[in-house]
Structure 1
Amino acid sequence: MLRSGNVPKANALHVDLNITHQKNCSVLVEFLRVNVTDPRTLLLNYSIVQIGEDPVGAHNGTGSLDPGITTIGTLFTPDPVLIVNTTFVLLTYVVNNDKVPIQVINKTFDVPRCLSASAKRDPHLTTFDGRHFGYQGLCWHTLVKDCRNVNPRFEVTGKFEPREMEGPELRSRTTQVNVRMDDHLISLTRDNHVLVNGRAVYTPKFRIDDDNIKVYRQADHVTFKLSEAELVLEWYGRDHSLYATLTSADYIGKVCGLLGNADGDARNDFTKRDGDITKDVVEFGESWRISELGC
């Protein structure tokens, strides 16, 4: 959330800001030209400073918005130690081609705790708390779901199927991801097609459930956003890879599945469906297999 700082002078060229999380918990800071018809180039000098961080080590950079260019961005990876309840300060100095100062922006934005997880290829999994493991399971498994109540608000499941044999050992990979939220079932296929309750949807982006669910189709992947849980999924079907980002404080430590519980402690990530903790990967994985869905 952005909070306004210094108010730009009247009639001055100025740039607005947009802040979004990325799949690896980096932060994309975009500079947006407000007056898109102005013919002049905007030169930017910016500094992103994390509270508690030595300003000398801040994320600094430059850029330009040439005529006709409305947006440029920079990626910033916050310090994971300081990320909880941390405010970042962004100082932007905008000048025109004559290098005459026309605007100084001083804005702050809060970046909540961000945890990322993934299930990639054959599949190699990484939990929200950073535990890496391989699991060669088959059929449908729970990747992550709401574990606050008996009836979860959402559940993300993945289908594991065998890949071409390259030796005596079975190797599987993720071929489809389903997201269930209340009465909605969104399916993401290996060809990056999207189905809602069994019906294909071909529009580039759409929303469901009063904007609580947002889906964006792009050339090589599909982005799914669940606003309530602040859960973002990026599915690269042809690469058999899923990336998940969780930022909601309400769900930290209150999810479960193959991607762990997101409580900050990787030692208890192998918590089975029945609540017991195991050290055995196969025992852990099989506990999250959804037998009633078959293969």
Structure 2
Amino acid sequence: MAFATLLCCAFLFGVSASATIKTQEELDQVPFVLLSDWIDAKLAAKQGNPAKRQISGDDDDELPTEPTIIYQTYRTCNYILLLAIDFTATEEGSYVFEGGNMSYSFYNTSDPPASPNYTVVQQDPIGFPPYPTFVTEWSGEHPPCTNLTILVNLTNADGTLTRNASFIRSTACPCKDGDMKGDPHITTLDGFRYNINGPCDYTLLQDCIHTPPKWKIIVTNGQAIASSGRRRLECARLVMNTSDVELFQNGDVKVNGVSVSSVKSLFVMVNGLMNVVTETPDKKGKVVIPYDDTFFLAVEEHYQLKLGLKDDYYKGKTCGLLGNNNGDRKDDLYIKGQRNTNVTAFTEYWKVPNSCRVEKLKI
């Protein structure tokens, strides 16, 4: 079984047939493990280099041999979401929390409440079959770098077995924000503002430390409005090698060209890494967050696009319409490191070839 890609959690995690849960006492011993910690532990043991985040090889001894509950948080600068995946097999061949529910509570670690408020969610209809998956709502709005205590209680379908856990995770930080809104106005990651009104697709931002880039975000301007001649954001597309996620202004979401808009929450595999596509915290748009939390991308109502980037991870290592993220807004329009102050020349450089449209004005 290859680990070169996390094609599905079924290929990433496994529970041996002999390791089954029968009693509450056995369930109390099942660990909650953060997905990234689990991967890093395997890498440290196998390769001695957890930073690579890749496991290769075809030997089955890489699979877990004991029941485990995996959790993963998805974070923006101000919000956090958690999912839990049940890998606790029973003798009947099912899973302990299949058909059950999860209650959870988020609170600021530095200001704990006298009595936490819990929210209950049922098993997610999508998740990672056959493993039961549970997903929280977004918690926020919190400042960046806020430590949050997360309480989680999983309960089986008939209410006879439970597994409780608590841990601390923070909102993403340090953070840099960029956006594209209106008709359209752009604010770079370093805070420089300008307008763009071409009838084309443009590279909003991309990884500029790898060739080819590991990821890039392409935006599409819509038709010009007759009354003003101005355009507005129509679509943002996250491209990672051969996989992509498209977020449309009308609320549609496509994964590799297939619409998934009818699904409230959807977890997709892009480039062998786990990603989340779900509603924004205010339910006014859609957001996609890569597995490693390096950035998040959201398209919201009123023609708004927001992007948050972990400043320490890609500081000075991005390029595109949102600039190079080096802390100096004065060089955001530079082209290949060469001095430039002309907005037209800059946007022309980041135009996607053969993407411009000849069109009539939109009434």
TM-score (norm 2): 0.54
Greater displacement, 138-147 / 282-291:
282-291
**Per-residue deviation at 1:90?**
7.1
Alpha-carbon distance between aligned partners in 1 of 2:171 and 2:284, rounded to the nearest angstrom = 30
Residue 147 (structure 1) aligned with residue 208 (structure 2) = yes
Alpha-carbon distance between aligned partners in 2 of 1:155 and 1:45, rounded to the nearest angstrom = 34
1:76/1:148 CA distance change after superposition, 3 Å: same
Residue 280 (structure 1) aligned with residue 332 (structure 2) = no
**Per-residue deviation at 1:275?**
3.5
User: What is the match of residue 180 of structure 1?
Assistant: 239
User: What is the match of residue 230 of structure 1?
Assistant: 294
Residue deviations 1:137-181, cap 9 Å, x none? 2210000011112311111001113432334xx311111111110
Residue 26 (structure 1) aligned with residue 69 (structure 2) = no
Q: Assess if the C-alpha contact under 8 Å between 1:224 and 1:234 holds in 2.
A: yes
Gaps of 5+ in 1: 2-17, 31-35, 49-59, 93-104
User: What is the match of residue 57 of structure 1?
Assistant: none
SS in structure 1 of the partner of residue 341 of structure 2: coil
Q: 2:190 aligns with which of 101, 115, 129?
A: 129
**Per-residue deviation at 1:220?**
2.8
Q: 2:329 aligns with which of 263, 266, 277?
A: 266
Q: Which amino acid aligns with 1:266?
A: R
Q: 1:199 aligns with which of 258, 269, 275?
A: 258
Superposed, 1:71-110 pairs within 5 Å as 75-78=141-144, 109=170
Alpha-carbon distance between aligned partners in 2 of 1:172 and 1:186, rounded to the nearest angstrom = 22
Q: Which amino acid aligns with 1:291?
A: P
**Per-residue deviation at 1:111?**
5.1
Count of equivalent residues: 236
Residue 244 (structure 1) aligned with residue 307 (structure 2) = yes
**Per-residue deviation at 1:279?**
1.3
User: What is the match of residue 157 of structure 2?
Assistant: none
Alpha-carbon distance between aligned partners in 1 of 2:293 and 2:139, rounded to the nearest angstrom = 26
User: What is the match of residue 227 of structure 2?
Assistant: 166
**Per-residue deviation at 1:108?**
8.1
1:61/1:270 CA distance change after superposition, 3 Å: farther
Alpha-carbon distance between aligned partners in 1 of 2:275 and 2:107, rounded to the nearest angstrom = 36
TM-score (norm 1): 0.65
- Tell me which protein shows more strand as a share of its residues: 1
Alpha-carbon distance between aligned partners in 2 of 1:231 and 1:165, rounded to the nearest angstrom = 35
User: What is the match of residue 292 of structure 1?
Assistant: 354
Alpha-carbon distance between aligned partners in 2 of 1:110 and 1:125, rounded to the nearest angstrom = 25
Alpha-carbon distance between aligned partners in 2 of 1:249 and 1:267, rounded to the nearest angstrom = 20
Alpha-carbon distance between aligned partners in 2 of 1:247 and 1:180, rounded to the nearest angstrom = 18
Q: 2:318 aligns with which of 248, 255, 260?
A: 255
1:282/1:208 CA distance change after superposition, 3 Å: same
Greater displacement, 196-205 / 122-131:
196-205
Alpha-carbon distance between aligned partners in 1 of 2:355 and 2:185, rounded to the nearest angstrom = 22
Gaps of 5+ in 2: 1-33, 35-71, 83-100, 122-135, 151-165, 358-363
**Per-residue deviation at 1:37?**
11
Alpha-carbon distance between aligned partners in 1 of 2:211 and 2:118, rounded to the nearest angstrom = 55
SS in structure 2 of the partner of residue 285 of structure 1: helix
Alpha-carbon distance between aligned partners in 2 of 1:47 and 1:260, rounded to the nearest angstrom = 35
SS in structure 1 of the partner of residue 344 of structure 2: helix
Q: Which amino acid aligns with 1:191?
A: N
SS in structure 2 of the partner of residue 244 of structure 1: strand
1:146/1:61 CA distance change after superposition, 3 Å: same
Q: Which amino acid aligns with 1:256?
A: C
SS in structure 2 of the partner of residue 283 of structure 1: helix
Q: Assess if the C-alpha contact under 8 Å between 1:229 and 1:251 holds in 2.
A: no
Alpha-carbon distance between aligned partners in 1 of 2:107 and 2:268, rounded to the nearest angstrom = 36
SS in structure 1 of the partner of residue 323 of structure 2: coil
Alpha-carbon distance between aligned partners in 2 of 1:245 and 1:65, rounded to the nearest angstrom = 29
